[in-house]
Amino acid sequence: MATPLFVLNGANLNMLGRREPNLYGTTTLAQVQAKTEQLAAELGLACDFRQTNHEGVLVDWIQEAYEKEAALIINPAGFSFGRVPVLDAIRMITKPVIEVHISNIHARPEPHTHSLVSRAVTGVICGLGAGGYLLAVRA
């Protein structure tokens, strides 16, 4: 049986490839999903890739990952910066949790510089574009 892996994406990532391409690139979320699922399958991981613009839905999905004892890759996007419910949900996960950001949040202006979510994750990958997802799968 394949190891479960949830890849969860937050607000506005459905617009990836069209929204601020100078900052986030032109790769779409569908393209990220295809590459992520392919690599996960090669590594024996059962990848469940999702995106939502609603914080409560994201919290529900994190809780589902917990229930299924899944590893988690999360790009919380705008939910990174001061979203305590997301942070609290991530703290339940017992498997590795990798936070991914397409841009280098540390080089961006406020409020995009300090991810509260980072306090609860195993590791953070940021600033490497859409390729950060593949690095997270390998981690």
| Rounded Cα–Cα distance for residues 23 and 62 (Å) | 27
Which of 54, 66, 101, 112 is flagged as catalytic? Answer: 101
Q: How far apart are CA 97 and CA 5, in angstroms?
A: 10
C-alpha to C-alpha distance for 134 and 139, rounded to whole angstroms: 9
CB 49 within 8 A of CB 13: no
Find the catalytic residue in 24, 66, 112, 133. Answer: 24
Q: How far apart are CA 1 and CA 22, in angstroms?
A: 41
Q: Is 24 a catalytic residue?
A: yes
User: Annotated active-site positions, please?
Assistant: 24, 101
